[in-house]
């Protein structure tokens, strides 16, 4: 970042914009030469994967394995790597069914997502009854043993699954593991890293798709905290189980982008969408396009192959019907993946505008925008950084010449286009000297030329 100072204006209490630097890259994808004909091949065009959950009990079904072998390049064991399956008695490990899935995947050149090392649910009976230090040690031993057994074979592990509570608090879920101490999650991640340094380590949860939900915010803050303290975390899994009670949120892409902006990969790990026909197809299209629009959304896994294989079979939430025929939803996903590849179609530009205030009472601040632009829309994430003294409130001004804001988070905006003034909300007014806070907005049209400037208030 360039920085200019001028002694001649140093004592004048004015705001001066001093530097604007474009430090990002713009990538424009050429159209796909030949459309791919399977989900895995279509996803690979943009460097992504397309996976499915697999149940060992169905591997004798040739319709099932035929679709699996043909369509998917990533596999998750639906139940076979869970704690109750892999350690049925303490310190007696059992990998038979998991290995059947792992071996099939590896023989077919498919990668494997491991699910899940530590979870409050699906614990073996002996663990359910444990607590305190004994439980903490048993959990860490489990993580270490299982991740070591599969070292080098797993693309990404769901190290911890579903540790946050539903509802408005945004806090942790009560469980025997949580009661061993709030640091149980980071302890599990450290153990997993030590056991298999080559696997990506993910935190995985459901109902974390809507950016405005407290649970999403709680997970976001944990990942932010882990990144800031060097806890080894590489990815966030959004399970994305959708139905009429829990529809695909309008801000889904914003959620993916905001997690990605923390410096982690984002994966859609258990996708299913109840419904049928064109409405189901269009929801699948939206989810697929949202992932494609976020550079660090590295792949999508659906939670089963045929509707009849699903944990929610009556909701017909998958891409193949009970006979193994492709549904409209399948075609919409394939088309979206083909439209997205090769290469990311979105452009990511990072612009930094440095603004200084010379008012000795308030200190200065800087604003930097990271813009994710795609055809027809954008997400802007703006980082506000305090200068040499703490902020007790801040304002950022942006310019939207050819775009309109449709939603925003962590700031109040004065309008939706043209010059928009953003001001802090209660919880991010105070920013210590040299520290940062972020807010953002998404919109239709172009987010180019936002040119943010920051003032202390
Ligand atoms: O509930 C949907 C998913 C939510 N996220 C975590 C996933 O791990 C979870 O998957 C589901 C499986 O799809 C089900 O198949 O997890 C359930 C258990 O937590 C699985 O159900 C279990 C039944 O509860 C058992 O009774 C049964 O023995 O499946 C087992 C194997 O068929």
Ligand 1: distance of its center to the CA of 426 in Å?
41
Ligand 1: distance of its center to the CA of 206 in Å?
14
Place of tokens 């075609």: 331
Question: Considering the chain, what is the average pLDDT of its residues?
Answer: 89
Residue nearest ligand 1's atom 31 by CA? 79
pLDDT recorded at residue 347: 55
Q: What is the mean pLDDT of residues 422-448?
A: 86
Of the listed ranges 62-76, 202-216, 262-276, 428-442, the one predicted with least confidence:
428-442
pLDDT recorded at residue 302: 99
Q: pLDDT band at 354, cuts 50/70/90?
A: low
Active site residue 162: yes
pLDDT recorded at residue 374: 60
Say if CB 331 and CB 339 are below 8 A apart. Answer: no
pLDDT digits over 182-191, tens only?
999 999 999 9
Q: Which residues does 218 contact at the CB level (< 8 Å), separation at least 6?
A: 164, 165, 169, 170, 171, 172
Q: What is the mean pLDDT of residues 97-124?
A: 97
Active site residue 128: no
Q: Which of residues 375 and 112 earns the better pLDDT score?
A: 112
**Cα–Cα dist 283/291, whole Å:** 13
Say if CB 203 and CB 222 are below 8 A apart. Answer: yes
User: Is the distance from the beta carbon of residue 270 to the nearest atom of ligand 1 less than 6 Å?
Assistant: yes
Of the candidates 199, 178, 184, the residue with the CA atom closest to the CA atom of residue 81: 199
Q: State the closest ligand 1 atom to the C-alpha of 121, by its place in the atom list counted from 1.
A: 19
Ligand 1: distance of its center to the CA of 79 in Å?
6
**Cα–Cα dist 218/213, whole Å:** 9
Ligand 1, from 76, 79, 82, 86: best to mutate by most atoms within 8 Å of Cβ? 79
pLDDT recorded at residue 350: 59
**Cα–Cα dist 376/403, whole Å:** 9
Ligand 1: distance of its center to the CA of 23 in Å?
46
User: Is the distance from the beta carbon of residue 69 to the nearest atom of ligand 1 less than 6 Å?
Assistant: no
pLDDT recorded at residue 1: 37
pLDDT digits over 397-415, tens only?
999 999 998 767 678 999 9
Say if CB 211 and CB 255 are below 8 A apart. Answer: yes
Of the listed ranges 251-260, 332-341, 424-433, the one predicted with least confidence:
424-433
Say if CB 386 and CB 433 are below 8 A apart. Answer: yes
């Amino acid at each position: 970042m360039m920085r200019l100072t001028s002694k001649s204006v140093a004592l004048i209490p004015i705001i001066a914009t001093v530097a604007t630097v474009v430090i990002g890259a713009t990538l424009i994808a050429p159209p796909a030469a030949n459309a791919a004909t399977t989900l895995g091949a279509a996803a690979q065009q943009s460097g992504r994967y397309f996976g499915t959950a697999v149940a060992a009990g169905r591997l004798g079904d040739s319709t099932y394995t035929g679709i699996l072998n043909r369509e998917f390049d990533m596999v998750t064991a639906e139940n076979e790597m869970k704690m109750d399956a892999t350690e049925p008695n303490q310190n007696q490990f059992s990998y038979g069914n998991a290995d059947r899935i792992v071996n099939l995947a590896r023989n077919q050149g498919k990668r494997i997502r491991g699910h899940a090392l530590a979870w409050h649910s699906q614990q073996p009976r002996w663990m359910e009854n444990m607590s305190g230090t004994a439980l903490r040690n048993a959990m860490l031993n489990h993580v270490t043993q299982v991740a070591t057994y599969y070292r080098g074979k797993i693309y990404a592990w769901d190290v911890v699954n579903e540790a946050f509570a539903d509802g408005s608090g945004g806090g942790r879920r009560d469980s025997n593991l949580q009661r061993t101490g709030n640091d149980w999650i980071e302890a599990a991640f450290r153990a997993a890293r030590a056991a298999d340094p080559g696997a990506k380590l993910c935190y995985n949860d459901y109902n974390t798709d809507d950016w405005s939900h407290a649970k999403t915010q709680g997970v976001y803050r944990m990942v932010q905290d882990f990144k800031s303290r060097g806890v080894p975390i590489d990815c966030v899994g959004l399970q994305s189980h959708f139905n009429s009670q829990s529809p695909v949120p309008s801000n889904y892409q914003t959620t993916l982008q905001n997690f990605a902006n923390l410096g982690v990969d984002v994966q859609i790990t258990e996708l299913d969408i109840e419904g049928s026909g064109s409405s189901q197809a269009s929801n699948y299209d939206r989810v697929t396009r949202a992932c494609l629009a976020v550079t660090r959304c590295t792949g999508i896994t659906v939670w089963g192959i045929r509707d009849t294989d699903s944990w929610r079979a009556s909701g017909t939430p998958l891409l193949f019907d009970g006979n193994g025929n492709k549904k409209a939803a399948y075609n919409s996903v394939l088309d979206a993946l083909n439209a997205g590849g090769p290469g990311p179609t979105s452009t990511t530009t990072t612009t930094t505008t440095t603004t200084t205030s010379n008012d000795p009472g308030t200190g200065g601040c800087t604003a930097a925008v990271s813009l994710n632009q795609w055809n027809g829309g954008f997400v802007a994430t703006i980082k506000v950084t305090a200068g040499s003294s703490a902020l007790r409130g801040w304002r950022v001004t942006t310019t939207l010449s050819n775009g309109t804001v449709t939603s925003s988070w962590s700031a109040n905006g004065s309008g939706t286009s043209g010059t928009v003034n953003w001001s802090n909300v209660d919880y991010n007014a105070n920013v210590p000297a040299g520290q940062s806070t972020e807010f953002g907005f998404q919109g239709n049209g172009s987010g180019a030329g936002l040119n943010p400037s920051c003032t202390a208030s």
